[in-house]
Structure 1
Amino acid sequence: MTPVDWLNHWAKKTPNKVFLHQPKNRVIETHTWQQIQKKVENISAFLNKLGLKRGDKIAIFAKNCAEWIIADLAIVRSGMISVPIYPSANAETVKYVLNHSESKAVFIGKLDSPEEAKAGVDNSILSISMGYESLDCQFSWEDIKQDSTSVSCLVPYEPELDDLMTLSYTSGSTGHPKGAMISFRAYAWANNNITKIMEFCPEDRMLSYLPLAHITERCFVEGAAYQANMTLYFTESLEYFVDDLMFAKPTVFLSVPRLWSLFQKKIVDSIGDKKLNFLLSTPFISAVIRKKIQRGLGLEHTRIVATGTAPISPHLLSWYQRVGLNICEGWGMTENCIYAIGNMPFNQAFLGSIGHVLPGCEVKVSKAGELLFKSGGLFDGYYKNEQATKESFTIDGFFKTGDLVKIDEVTGAVSILGRVKDNFKTAKGKFVSPIPIEKKLAEDKHIEMLCIIGSGMAAPIALVVLSEGASNKPRRQVANSLNETLIKVNKQLESHEKVGAIVVVDEAWTPENDTLTPTLKIKRHVLHNKYFNLFGELKGQVVLWESDLNDE
């Protein structure tokens, strides 16, 4: 079934059930399945009225909101192909995606930096406002919803399962993003399996706040919600995130490692590290404290908590276990509709790995150690890039993931050892795989983000962004902790892998300064180019601040 098939199904079976909750000016707007169906019909008719045809590409450039889901459904209903764009994307990326995808129109909603993104939207493309204060558009959301004159002319759209549903552009950590072509069949297969393995049901509630332009939110949240008839909530802004989370009272909560780290900091700062450890170690009191912490995070009703999109420290996962939250870790890609490998449902035995190969998926490991993958959720290739498509598949149809892995022969646990493109040779001429080293260093609670570089350098260097709490502590105290961590980790490494220095950088990494992708993945090549000349000769197991080197 396609998303519109599910819309029509639920509009008939549970017409008055509220599917979407959208806060606006601190008032909650609700959307039932029946109401959504009517809006989708109106918008589809309007798209046709504009002269747009089946097969045309229509972009969605907006933060998560109820209107995002409605616009996506309307695009499918019209027989057109959706092209989501990250709301944090800069003008260059926006322009590239719109041009490369040949989008004929774009829905525009709330954006992170509308003025910066403005130059990316060409005046020649039809622009449709989603009803939020953002970029100027040619057509308004209210006008579209109320213009039902052409609805009677709409004919049912029944796509073939192998038809193209969406172009999902990867976040471009190593260059221009590539448009993954995802069919209705692949999307439905992945969502169906996600719904089964997570046992989603109509009573489940989720807060949709990670970008819907990312395949994780698109499948794990939007797609699974269609199949399970879950209820989705949205947040009005970062300012009200906690309030909206507590209002939603999610039964399923998906986040990213960075947010789990921030939640941990909030808890430790409010209680104190030593006091928290004492309370969690005290019989009878510990259960009360766990419930209080979960309630303070708005997660007291959750039956499933999960993490994905980036590696997470096993130390952090173990910490959350102490407060009563067993976080399921998952691994997937845009190219396989995110359903691939995971510790789902949670199993203590898989802690420290990314879990096991999920039902319906098939994997192999190449001679070079690269994970090769096949499932019903695989994409059809990269849009207008036959060469990249050809290079991405083996002769027998397995997708080359680019991840180096180790699979335990007994338990089936899959461990990520690094990325094929991330491995580098130092000046010593031996390969270093940075990700396993980063996981070990990340156990230092003073570190919020880190990245190891070292291609052509005297030794690998760990670039570090301090956590907010660490930034407020005396430098000597932080340096001592980092130094202890560095010595401890280096003892576990081969001589050519030993980290020559930890450097605390001056500037935080963000999508805006091009050091992170829109999904907060670190752009290693950008950091290497920025710091190679400055830190290329560092070695000797030292801890220092970038500002100290600049002063010299």
Structure 2
Amino acid sequence: MEYRLPLEQMQQNVASHPDKVWLNQPVNRKWTSYTWKQADTQARIIASALHANGLQPGDKVAIIGKNSAEWFICDFAIMMAGLISVPIYPTAGADNIRYVLEHSGAKAIFVGKMDNIQALEEALPQELLSIAFPYPTLACKANWLEWLEQYPPIEELPTPGPDDLFSIIYTSGSTGLAKGVLLTQRNVASSAKAAANLLVTRKEGRFMSYLPLAHITERCVVELPSVYSPSGIYFTESLDTFIEDVQYARPTSFISVPRLWTKFQSQILSRVPNNKLQFLLKLPLIGKLVAKKIRTALGLQEADLFGSGSAPISPDVLHWFNGLGISIGEGWGMTETSGLSCCNIPFELAHVGTIGTPQSCVEMRLSEAGEVLIKGDAVFTSYYNNPEATAEAFEDGWFKTGDKGEITVDGAWKIVGRVKEQFKTSKGKYVAPVPIESSLGRDADIEQVCVMGSGRKQPIALIVLGEGASTDRQELQNQLSATLASVNTELESHQKLDHLIVTREPWTIENEMLTPTLKLKRDQLEKKYGHFLTTGLKQSIVWEEDIS
């Protein structure tokens, strides 16, 4: 199938509606807007500057920084210069930054907003051309605003073919070293076009861009779909202003990840207990008013499409939000599949707990062992400079995702865990942690959960409590005991949990318990809490602070 490629689609937008606003950036609580023509002109100037500074077509250029209008413009400038983008997570450690720069052979790096510049300062090679976005950030050799003043816009744009390289995207590294995924123009065009058809629900669509742009989801579910179905993009200034920025933008579609959805849930429940909330929601008229008030407080009163991806989310959390008029369709995809491959959008209540049905740009099937296999226009063909990993990743032309799946009787797909995440208990039985974690998520006070138990007679679950959890230890203990008993009645004997362990601190990117896309780093969690696998615990509900 033929697709209009990203650069061509952008030029179509510039020609069709040059003065329509595309990007909206808050700086010091003031909003600056960029039309399609303004963004195009800036991108052309930056492309010209890259050539003037010695970069040749095919060279790799890194981008590190939090989401901003300049990040989007830079992405297209790199395309206009015939270069290849290499995004890096702004939360990456020095070793990871150093590895990506060296492995990709990047010749330059754009540096944007960052919460901490120490790792980049340590990892950045002295000889590398560095260009600072117009925010307080690392001191660089060149400056975005100065380049905009110094160089003329490039006039002739390249015309890449569908099989030409678009970007090298390094996996988020939940285990081991990140692999560089080579994504072509066809890969991202097919994915972004399919996503745009699903996610842009009206002519004047509005999206928030706040999930890491170094991750494929934000590129192919927000950035590029806003080009294929022209939509307004709103950025956030900081974590502190997040809700205020969403309230300003009033997005029509809102995509998030499980960690943030459960955070929203905890914040709501910290203001009104769940029992009271559920009682109010069932009252005629009052229930609708309460639900609308909550959506408005989150800035989501005009949104009619909601999504969740990157990691599994509990069906109970999805049902809870559905009661507020926030019907979240769960999606699934990988860097290697150019983002969204399967989703419960349009939302179907009967498909809660599944990832819905495949996108038009891919085909999916199950192997005999139950592993999800996928191929199609959106699926990559190789890892950068890693022929061994590439060979291992494919079977008869199908990419082996490493996810275990099931298909329901009405054709919806379910992900039931990672093939490699299964662990064997001392009984010699295998346990898949994800379904158990999902079941524990029905307790609205449990914000994060990780099931482990390798070599142990029975598994255990580590949990982090949400903001709305009771401060009465006995009340909370009774509630968690009831949750544990309820979940255990649904499990086979070798899966039943011995203990719930309430950890002292939440798991974050900063303490290296989560990846930049907020997935659990199971190896790090097991390293930190692995002693619980051999500790003799007497109570079914255990507080870490009481025993360590």
Is the shorter-chain TM-score for this pair beyond 0.5, marking a shared fold?
yes
Structure 1 counterpart of 2:434: 435
1:401-416 aligned at under 5 Å gives the runs: 401-408=401-408, 410-416=409-415
Aligned mates of 1:200, 1:443 — CA distance in 2: 30
Asked whether 1:27 is paired with 2:30, we answer yes
> Are 2:273 and 2:468, in contact at CA under 8 Å, matched by a contact in 1?
no
Aligned mates of 1:357, 1:341 — CA distance in 2: 4
> Are 2:200 and 2:253, in contact at CA under 8 Å, matched by a contact in 1?
no
> Are 1:457 and 1:532, in contact at CA under 8 Å, matched by a contact in 2?
no
1:272-421 aligned at under 5 Å gives the runs: 272-395=273-396, 397-408=397-408, 410-421=409-420
Aligned mates of 2:202, 2:278 — CA distance in 1: 36
Aligned mates of 1:192, 1:33 — CA distance in 2: 19
2:241 aligned counterpart, secondary structure = helix
1:136-535 aligned at under 5 Å gives the runs: 136-149=139-152, 151=153, 155-395=156-396, 397-408=397-408, 410-470=409-469, 473-535=471-533
Structure 1 counterpart of 2:133: 130
Q: Structure 2: which amino acid aligns with 1:520? A: L
> Are 1:4 and 1:76, in contact at CA under 8 Å, matched by a contact in 2?
yes
Aligned mates of 2:354, 2:319 — CA distance in 1: 13
Deviation at 1:537, TM superposition (A): 4.8
Asked whether 1:118 is paired with 2:121, we answer yes
Deviation at 1:426, TM superposition (A): 1.1
Aligned mates of 2:72, 2:23 — CA distance in 1: 9
Aligned mates of 1:353, 1:256 — CA distance in 2: 15
Deviation at 1:535, TM superposition (A): 2.8
Q: Structure 2: which amino acid aligns with 1:401? A: T
Aligned mates of 1:519, 1:222 — CA distance in 2: 16
Distance 1:303 1:25, change over 3 A: same
Q: Structure 2: which amino acid aligns with 1:22? A: Q
Deviation at 1:360, TM superposition (A): 4.1
Q: For each residue in 1:31-63, what CA deviation from the matched residue of structure 2 results, as whole angstroms up to 9, or x when unmatched?
A: 111111111111001100110111111000000
> Are 1:90 and 1:512, in contact at CA under 8 Å, matched by a contact in 2?
no
**Identity across aligned pairs (percent)?**
44
> Are 2:317 and 2:441, in contact at CA under 8 Å, matched by a contact in 1?
no
1:254 aligned counterpart, secondary structure = strand
1:514 aligned counterpart, secondary structure = coil
Aligned mates of 2:17, 2:149 — CA distance in 1: 24
Aligned mates of 2:199, 2:412 — CA distance in 1: 19
2:542 aligned counterpart, secondary structure = strand
Deviation at 1:469, TM superposition (A): 2.7
Q: Structure 2: which amino acid aligns with 1:248? A: A
Deviation at 1:306, TM superposition (A): 1.0
Deviation at 1:156, TM superposition (A): 2.4
**Which residue of 6, 9, 14 maps to 1:11?**
14
> Are 1:201 and 1:228, in contact at CA under 8 Å, matched by a contact in 2?
no
Aligned mates of 1:435, 1:199 — CA distance in 2: 31
Asked whether 1:60 is paired with 2:51, we answer no
Aligned mates of 2:532, 2:340 — CA distance in 1: 41
Aligned mates of 1:22, 1:280 — CA distance in 2: 36
1:421 aligned counterpart, secondary structure = helix
Distance 1:357 1:155, change over 3 A: closer
The worse-fitting range, judged by mean Cα deviation, of 158-167 and 476-485 is 476-485
Q: For each residue in 1:148-206, what CA deviation from the matched residue of structure 2 results, as whole angstroms up to 9, or x when unmatched?
A: 24x46x53211111011101111000111111110001100111111123354540001
> Are 1:425 and 1:454, in contact at CA under 8 Å, matched by a contact in 2?
yes
Structure 2 counterpart of 1:71: 74
Normalising by structure 2, what TM-score? 0.96
Aligned mates of 2:48, 2:464 — CA distance in 1: 50
Q: For each residue in 1:250-297, what CA deviation from the matched residue of structure 2 results, as whole angstroms up to 9, or x when unmatched?
A: 101111112112222232333333332222111122222222121111
Aligned alpha-carbon RMSD (Å) = 1.6
Aligned mates of 1:308, 1:547 — CA distance in 2: 32
Deviation at 1:541, TM superposition (A): 6.9
Total equivalences in the alignment: 545
Structure 2 unmatched ranges of 5 or more: none
2:420 aligned counterpart, secondary structure = coil
Structure 2 counterpart of 1:99: 102
Q: Structure 2: which amino acid aligns with 1:48? A: H
Deviation at 1:501, TM superposition (A): 1.3
Q: Structure 2: which amino acid aligns with 1:402? A: G
> Are 1:501 and 1:538, in contact at CA under 8 Å, matched by a contact in 2?
no
Asked whether 1:50 is paired with 2:48, we answer no
Deviation at 1:540, TM superposition (A): 6.9
Q: Structure 1: which amino acid aligns with 2:93? A: N
Aligned mates of 2:221, 2:201 — CA distance in 1: 10
> Are 1:500 and 1:538, in contact at CA under 8 Å, matched by a contact in 2?
no
Normalising by structure 1, what TM-score? 0.96
**Which residue of 76, 89, 92 maps to 2:92?**
89
Aligned mates of 1:367, 1:539 — CA distance in 2: 39
Structure 1 unmatched ranges of 5 or more: none
2:302 aligned counterpart, secondary structure = coil
> Are 1:486 and 1:499, in contact at CA under 8 Å, matched by a contact in 2?
yes
Aligned mates of 1:198, 1:211 — CA distance in 2: 19
Q: Structure 1: which amino acid aligns with 2:121? A: K
Q: For each residue in 1:11-39, what CA deviation from the matched residue of structure 2 results, as whole angstroms up to 9, or x when unmatched?
A: 11101111000011111111111111111
Q: Structure 1: which amino acid aligns with 2:404? A: L
> Are 2:87 and 2:168, in contact at CA under 8 Å, matched by a contact in 1?
yes
Distance 1:291 1:530, change over 3 A: closer
Distance 1:60 1:51, change over 3 A: same
Distance 1:288 1:508, change over 3 A: closer
2:214 aligned counterpart, secondary structure = coil
1:340 aligned counterpart, secondary structure = strand
> Are 2:257 and 2:310, in contact at CA under 8 Å, matched by a contact in 1?
yes
2:486 aligned counterpart, secondary structure = helix
The worse-fitting range, judged by mean Cα deviation, of 455-464 and 328-337 is 455-464
> Are 1:459 and 1:538, in contact at CA under 8 Å, matched by a contact in 2?
no
Deviation at 1:135, TM superposition (A): 0.8
